[in-house]
Every structure is written in structure tokens, then in C-alpha cells.
Amino acid sequence: MKKLIALLLALTMVFALCACGAKEEAPAAAPAAPAEEAAAPAEEAVAGSVYYLNFKPEQDEAWQKLAAEYTAETGVPVTVLTAASGTYEETLMAEMGKTEAPTMFQVNGPVGLANWKDYCYDLSGSELYSHLTSDSFALTEDGAVYGIAYVIESYGIIANKALLAEAGYAAEDINSFETLKAVAEDITARSAELGFAAFSSAGMDSSSDWRFKTHLANLPIYFEYQADGIGTTTEIKGDYLDNYRQIWDLYINNSTCAPAELSAKTGDDSRNEFLNGEAVFFQNGSWEYGSLSAVYADEDLVMLPIYIGAGDEANQGLCTGTENYWCVNADASEEDIAATLEFMNWCVTEGADSMANDMGFVIPFDTAVESPNLFVKQDVAYTAEGKTPVSWNFPTMPSEEWKNVVGSALTAYAADQTDANWDAVVTAFVDGWASEYALLG
């Protein structure tokens, strides 16, 4: 009897273990089933499925909706998974290692592509590519198209017009670094009487520091590339870093908080200060339109170019570009690749309306629908006036590590604004650039 019980118990254990093992198989089989069912009624429907690993958490809901619409229309199952903010690389790396890997993912530019090139399908023959309005929105290498940008964004200094008027200025008064500085310093001088500060906090918490170590750092890089007539380099000279210091000084010394407290300020803090009318200026991009338009009317907001006292300021536009390139997983099965290409094309044609209105995107395809996003419209208006947009060169930054070291030096400088601390920023910027590029090779 005892023997029997022992045997039974042992068997239960073995079965329990088998059950654990079997679970992994289950999801793999599941998506295949609806695909077959769907394929049965419509003979020509693609047998594959789409798995999109989305980068932008703020558009997750809109993507889920669009994917459901596509599945309803064509019967092709589309899974959209959104990586949590700031964890895209990790998620992508983990997901790509699985048997059911994403068929569609994104990279942030040439440096991101270096990691994933071996996994990218050549999109040069795709219909999506034929809709692309300019080749500058594609990531090409040796004639192959590895990535196609799907959204164009702009950033600059967002200003609250009502508060600006209260301080006695208009947005048109600000057309150079000098005027921006004069306005900001005047507001700071009278901040007790006015009840608000010039800039919302330039927080250096990881939820916010990318606005400065990446986006603001784009400007000195842009002007250097312009002066040298290049698009990327492995050795930056840092010719415009004095201008970078000027604008950074302006941000941190005319802010809602003491510069020493910036290291703990988050992106939410900064946005909330702007939303509560505690600050006139807020450096951010067109992706913030959704949260800002919930509080402010369009006529209260304006996005100004980031003037740093370099180049032709009279003709400087917003910083406009992209760091979002769609890629297709070359290791996916042929059916899945075909299904993914179909889906991408559908998104920018049939789905163009949803991409413009639900996601607020401006897409670089000839099928684009006008977006209600105010900042995007302003970018178009600036360009129409003959101003030159500042291109996004930060995708050429050598690594995350480079950005982190520069960010760390900027934070240290903010807390104690000495020349020695600024030299540390310059070292991180210039020497760090070269050493990180050396490691990359």
C-alpha cells in the first residue's frame, strides 16, 4: 500500500513538472489557430501573422485599436506589445530571442541599427517604401533599406502665451538667444511680483534628463555638422559647446527651483509646473500636445525654436526629425514577413487617418492626413515662412553610455556652476564621443 502511495505521489510530481514544461508550447500554438480559420473563408488571405513591438507607450491604446480594426478587416492576427517607457532595448532583446519573435520592431537610427542590422529585412522592394516622400527618412546601408521612419516630430521651447503677455511680452519678441535671455531674466527678476518663473524645472531624473542630454545636446552637434558640412562623425570637436553652456545656464538659473535640486526633478514635475502656470517656458516636443491641450487652448500655446546664439537665428526653425524607424524581422517566416509588410502598408494608407488623429503623428508618406497637433502645424508654418528646421542629429550619438555620462556631468555642473565642472561636461562630450565610438568599432 505504502509503495503504491509513494508511486502515486512521485507520478504526480512528474506530471506537475511536465505540465510546467507544456505551458510554454501553448501560446505558440494559439495564434496559429485563428490564422488558419481566417484563411479558410478568404482564399487569398495571407497565412502569416504580425507581432509589433511598439516603442511609444502614449500611443499604445491607438495601436491596439488599429490592430483590432485590421484583424477585423483582413482576418490577419496582429499582436501589439508596448515596451514600458525606457525599456525598449531590453524588451526587444528578450523578445527577439523567442521562437515567436516580433515581426515588426523599431530602431532609433544608425547607432541603433548597428545592433540590429543582422535582423533587419531589406525593405527596398516594399510598397511602404514607395509611399515614402523622401529618402532621408529611410535608413539605408549599401543600397539596402533597413528601416523606414514612420513619424516626424518637432521639439522646441513650448511657451504659455497668456503668461508671456502678463509679463509684458509677446511670442514674436523672442527671435534670438539674446531676446530669449532678456525675457527670461526679466521674468526671473520680477518672479515674486508675477508669481511664476521663466522655465519649468530642467529635471535631471532619468524621466526627464533626455530633454537635455539628448535633445538640447542636438543643437551644438547640429551647428557643428552644418559648419563642417557632415552628417555624422566619430570625433566631435565641440565648437558650439559654449553656446550649449549659455542655454543650459539660462534654463537652470531662471527656473522654478534652485539648480542644486534639479537632480531629483522628474519629467512629471516639469510638465505639471507648466500646466499649473508656474512657468512660461517648457522645453519639449510635439508628443506633449495631448497632455498640454487637455489644459490649454491652442491659442495659448506656441512652440519657439531653441535659440543658442549660433548660426542664422533669424531663419532657425524647430528641431524636426525622427528617431523612430520601422524594421521587419528578417528571421521571421516568409508568411509572417509578407503579412507584416501588408500591415505596415495598410497602416499608412487605410490607417493614415487613425495615425494622424488618434496618434497625432505626422507621417512621411504621400498618403498622410493632416494632423490636428498644433506644434506640428507650427513646424509647417515655420518652414513655409522660409525657416530651416534643425535636423535631429542625436541618433548619431555613440551610445546610451555617452548620453548618461554627459547627463551626469550636466547635473553636477548645475549644482555647482564652476568652470572646472563645465570642463567635465566638455570632456564627457568630446572625449567621451571619441572613446565611445572607438568601442563601437
Partner 1 sequence: MVKATKKWWPVFVLPTVAAFMIGFVIPFLEGLYLSFCKFTTINKASWVGISNYVKVFQDAQFWDSLTFTASFTVVSTVLINVLAFAIALALTRGLRGTNLFRTVFFMPNLIGGIVLGYIWNILINCLLSILGQPLIALNTNAGYWGLIVLMCWQQIGYMMIIYIAGLQSIPNDYIEAARIDGATSPQILFKIKIPNVMPSITICMFLTLTNSFKLFDQNLALTGGDPNHATEMLALNIYNNFYARSGAAWKGIGQAKAVIFCIMVITISLIQLRATRSKEVQQ
Which residues of the shown chain bind partner 1 in the complex (CB under 8 A)? 2-3, 6-7, 10, 13-14, 17, 89-90, 93, 96-97, 111-112, 114-116, 118-119, 204-206, 260-261, 263-264, 398-401, 404-405, 408-409, 411-412, 415-416, 439-440
55 vs 365, beta carbon nearer partner 1? 55
Residue 60 beta carbon to partner 1: minimum distance, rounded to whole angstroms = 22
Shortest distance (Å) from residue 61 CB to partner 1: 26
| Cβ-based nearer residue to partner 1, 16 or 314 | 16
| Shortest distance, position 101 Cβ to partner 1, whole Å | 8
Measured from the CB atom, the residue of 97 and 229 that comes closer to partner 1 is: 97
Which sign, positive or negative, has the C-alpha torsion 74, 77, 83, 84?
A: positive
In angstroms, give the least distance from the CB of 401 to partner 1. 5
Give the 3-state secondary structure of residue 362: strand
In terms of CB distance, is 10 or 32 closer to partner 1?
Answer: 10
Q: List CB contacts of 150: < 8 A, sequence separation 6 or more.
A: 106, 322, 324, 325, 326, 347, 348, 361, 363, 364
Backbone CA torsion sign across 368, 373, 374, 376: negative
How far is 141 from 147, CA to CA, in rounded Å?
Answer: 10
Nearer to partner 1, 14 or 40 (CB): 14
Among 415, 395, 408, 424, which residue's Cα sits nearest to residue 114?
395
Q: Residue 78 pairs with which residues in a beta bridge?
A: 50
Which amino acid is it at 269?
D
Cα angle 326-329-333, degrees, rounded to a multiple of 5? 140
Minimum distance from residue 340 beta carbon to partner 1 (Å): 18
User: Which DSSP symbol is given to 364?
Assistant: S
d(CA 159, CA 155): 12
Nearer to partner 1, 170 or 438 (CB): 438
- Least distance to partner 1 from the beta carbon of 399, Å? 5
Query: Which residues have CB under 8 Å from 5's CB, separation 6+?
Result: none
Least distance CB 257 / partner 1 (angstroms): 10
Nearer to partner 1, 252 or 412 (CB): 412
Q: Kindly list the distances between the CA atom of residue 351 and the CA atoms of 65, 66, 363, 431, in Å, as whole numbers in the listed order.
A: 11, 7, 11, 45
